[in-house]
Chains A and B, each alone.
Chain A
Amino acid sequence: MKHTPTIVSLAGASVLALGLSACGSSGGTADHDRITADVVKASFQDRGIAKVDRLVQDDANRECAAADVARKPIDEKVAKAIEAAEMKTMKWPSDGKFIGDWKEGEKIAQSGRGLTWSDNEKTVNGGNCYNCHQISKEEISFGTLGPSLYNYGKLRGVTDPSAEASKAIVEYTWGKLWNSRAYNACSQMPRVGHKGILNEAQLKDVMALLLDPKSPVNR
């Protein structure tokens, strides 16, 4: 039995052959982008709930990644267009209430569960918040990829989240949670509401964690 060709074809030699013919002549960015797309197509497989359709790039992700590859900030006009498009995805609380239970919010912020191929449809998604942010002072195991959210409401002068004076910051916070990219085109923060990571009730609980004066975040 001749096994060698099996490995070669299986592992995508055709992709590399494409690359070679293209790179022999120019080897430019467009060629590399095309070869990468072919490599992505050949390299990933569905596993559990994580299907290959997750690799489909929307405009926002494509533009932000291209800027990263080029090692330069995203073009300002492109960024504005992304933010405008993302803003259109915004959904506000169906009953007009923004604030839930901070105790539940703390649990959601702690949980990093959900949406991996080792989770299933029944897994209750967490917010992954502490992975990247300091939030309450009591939890010392926090990440630093995002800014500290300790005293989030207090620092912004929120003494009563339902007061008219708090409206702007309450809405901004909801918006940032729903779709962070509406405010910052290439923000690394997941589009928590828009992508269905947390549902409306869970988002309200996280809002309470950040904005309720009784929450440990603001005490």
Chain B
Amino acid sequence: MKRKVVVLATLAVACAGGAQAQDATADGIAKYREMLQDGNPAELFEMKGEELWKQKRGPKNASLERCDLGKGPGVLEGAFVELPRYFKDTGRVMDMETRLIHCMETLQGFNGAEVMKTPFGRGEMANVTALATYVATQSKGMHFNLPQNTAQEKTMYEVGKRLFFMRGGPHDFSCASCHGEEGKRIRLQDLPNLTKNPGDGVGFAAWPAYRVSNAQMWGMQLRLNDCYRQQRFPEPKFGSDATIALGVYMGVNAKGAESIVPAIKR
């Protein structure tokens, strides 16, 4: 905990620095990452997730070890970099978080609808984030390669593209307002172009991530939720088709990008 405070102070100094503030901030984060190589706070979530994965829990007192994340029951390696994908058993395209909740429901007997309604960071939702961090980390260093083999997956890509460019709210913002071009920033924050592969560990390939600014672990569902908040849109429901479709659009565009999960973000 102490280390985190010290490092945050370093970052704050970097942010306040003169004309080179942007470089200084980037340097600060790079240094922070370096310092945390042996103790990335995200690893705490990863460890918690591993425990949750193996632990017998829920009304059925079962573990998640037979959960099929797309590559067969219990296969974790490489599963994350192919999500969201179509699942025959549910007849829908699912992302990592919704699939995990599906497994919590079918294997462990949790009420999936209740879990999906739980606020981020609380109760079983906090467990879903930890599980997602653990599962994603089993694909660390692998490259995104989302399947586009089924009609459902192709449809979700097209829907995601339309959502990405959909302008609305009092500010007429769309996802593309900020993420449609290269080399742009908001204030000093660099913005990845999500209409293509923005690079290894950037954009879609940077989540789940530990956020230094608020000391929280964020999965893609919360990342999208907060984007829409800032876009001045109403709230996307957790696991809704809009969030899945955007995941498919960004994930397919990011084909070949290396996942650096668990990442650290400002």
A contact set with B: CB distance below 8 Å: 1, 3-4, 6-8, 10-13, 15-17, 19-20, 23-24, 27, 32-33, 35-36, 39-40, 42-47, 50-52, 54-57, 61, 64-65, 68-69, 115-118, 128, 130-132, 140-145, 181, 188, 190-191, 195-197
Contacts and interface: CB of A to CB of B under 8 A. Distances in A.
B72 interface: no
B211 interface: no
A46 B169 CA distance: 12
Do most interface residues of chain B lie in helix, strand or loop, or is the interface mixed?
Answer: mixed
A42 B177 contact: no
Contact of A115 (B174, B232, B236): B232
A42 B234 CA distance: 12
B229 interface: yes
Interface size classification for chain B: 35 or more
A36 to B, nearest CB: 4
B90 A7 contact: yes
Given A23-B154, A145-B191, 9 more contacts: A8-B90, A12-B240, A36-B163, A39-B240, A42-B241, A46-B235, A140-B19, A143-B186, A195-B170
B185 A65 contact: no
Interface in B90-140: 90-93, 98, 101-102, 105-106, 109-113, 116
Contacts of A39: 159, 163, 240-242, 245
A23 B167 CA distance: 25
A65 B174 contact: yes
Nearest to B177: A188
B155 A116 contact: no
A142 B187 contact: yes
A12 B162 contact: no
A123 to B, nearest CB: 12
Given A3-B112, A57-B167, A68-B176, A130 B187 contact: yes
Contact of A42 (B91, B110, B240): B240
Given A16-B91, A132-B186, A143-B185, A44 B167 contact: no
Interface string B131-158: 0000000000000000000011011001
B166 A40 contact: yes
Contact of B241 (A15, A45, A116): A15
A104 B183 CA distance: 31
B26 to A, nearest CB: 14
9 contacts: A4-B102, A12-B240, A35-B155, A35-B158, A39-B241, A40-B163, A44-B233, A61-B168, A190-B171
Contacts of B166: 36, 40, 55, 57, 61, 65
B236 A191 contact: no
Contacts of A20: 151-152, 155
Nearest to B155: A19
A44 B232 contact: no
A117 B235 contact: yes
Nearest to B238: A11
Contacts of A42: 240-241
A50 B91 contact: no
A13 B87 CA distance: 12
B152 A19 contact: yes
B161 interface: yes
